[in-house]
Amino acid sequence: MLGDEGATLELLTVGSLEVEGRLVEASNATLYCTISRSGSTAACVYKPVAGERPLWDFPDGTLAGREIAAYAVSKAAGWDIVPPTVYRDGPFGPGMCQLWIDADESVDLVALARSSGDARLRQMAVFDAVVNNADRKIGHLLPTVGGHLYGCDHGVCFGSEYKLRTVLWQWRGERLPAAALAALERLRALLADGELATELAAWLSSAEVAATVRRVDMLLKHQVHPLPPADWPAVPWPPI
């Protein structure tokens, strides 16, 4: 991150965006870019709304906004899972722009995803439960050399119906850690005071914002990791 998060967000928002290539394995248009302003330069991912593939279970043109909402939730809870993310115009129209994270290639992602003792990963599982992530794949885990764990690709989150689909089921039914409960309490308070709910409403429907509040309330009430849905594929395919 450049200096601090505020400086990074400013660079992502107003910097000059230049497309360097495309991540061809992505199902939607995902462009690798450089962004620069006043001597500062960074790599980023730009996903234009025009490049989103229509989905049967999410309204057209909403995936970029869902990525912004995921960043807002991650930041509000203090999880720092989603890299700095903004909505801006670009060479192919408006879309999501997110700081590129250089993942530590020495980490075995399959082994990491199967771990039950990694607090960072467990935190991500709680985050996914809050945002109702319908596509948490192994390849969406971004461990850094410094030890932080980020996650990417949150365009299919926040559905009103329960459709959690993830590779992180190893804690299902287990009691939530104290740190997770504290983060959920913080998130619930910010939703209650209206500011976060208003921010989410810019990208989500009123039903989706209400469903997010209900998920937080359910997690706080039962204080356990959720169980896989009975009527929805529990693991994304392919899982990597």
Task: List C-alpha distances in Å: 73 to 43, 68, 183, 196.
Answer: 23, 9, 11, 8
pLDDT at 179 (0 to 100): 97
Q: How many CA atoms lie within 13 A of 165 on its CB side?
A: 20
Neighbours of 18 (CB within 10 A): 14
**How many domains are there within the chain?**
1
pLDDT band at 9 (very low <50, low <70, confident <90, very high): very high
Q: Is residue 237 part of a domain?
A: no
Q: Which domain holds residue 156?
A: 5-222
Q: Look up the pTM and report it.
A: 0.96
Average pLDDT over residues 51-64: 95
Q: Is residue 233 part of a domain?
A: no
Percent of the chain at pLDDT above 70? 99
pLDDT tens readout for residues 96-146: 999 999 999 999 999 999 999 999 999 999 999 999 999 999 999 999 999
pLDDT at 3 (0 to 100): 60
Q: Is residue 238 part of a domain?
A: no
Q: Is residue 79 part of a domain?
A: yes
What is the distance, to the nearest Å, from the Cα of residue 123 to the centroid of all Cα atoms in its chain?
12
Q: Is residue 227 part of a domain?
A: no
Q: Strand 95-99 and strand 141-143: pairing? A: unpaired
Q: Is residue 240 part of a domain?
A: no
Task: List C-alpha distances in Å: 98 to 68, 150, 227.
Answer: 9, 12, 31
Has residue 69 got a pLDDT over 80?
yes
Whole-number average pLDDT of the chain: 96
pLDDT tens readout for residues 20-43: 999 878 888 999 999 999 999 999
pLDDT at 49 (0 to 100): 97
pLDDT at 2 (0 to 100): 53
pLDDT at 24 (0 to 100): 78
Q: Is residue 158 part of a domain?
A: yes
Task: List C-alpha distances in Å: 169 to 24, 107, 151.
Answer: 28, 20, 16
Looking up residue 143, the CATH number of its domain turns out to be 1.10.510
Q: Is residue 230 part of a domain?
A: no
Helices 119-131, 206-222: crossing angle, 10 deg rounding: 130
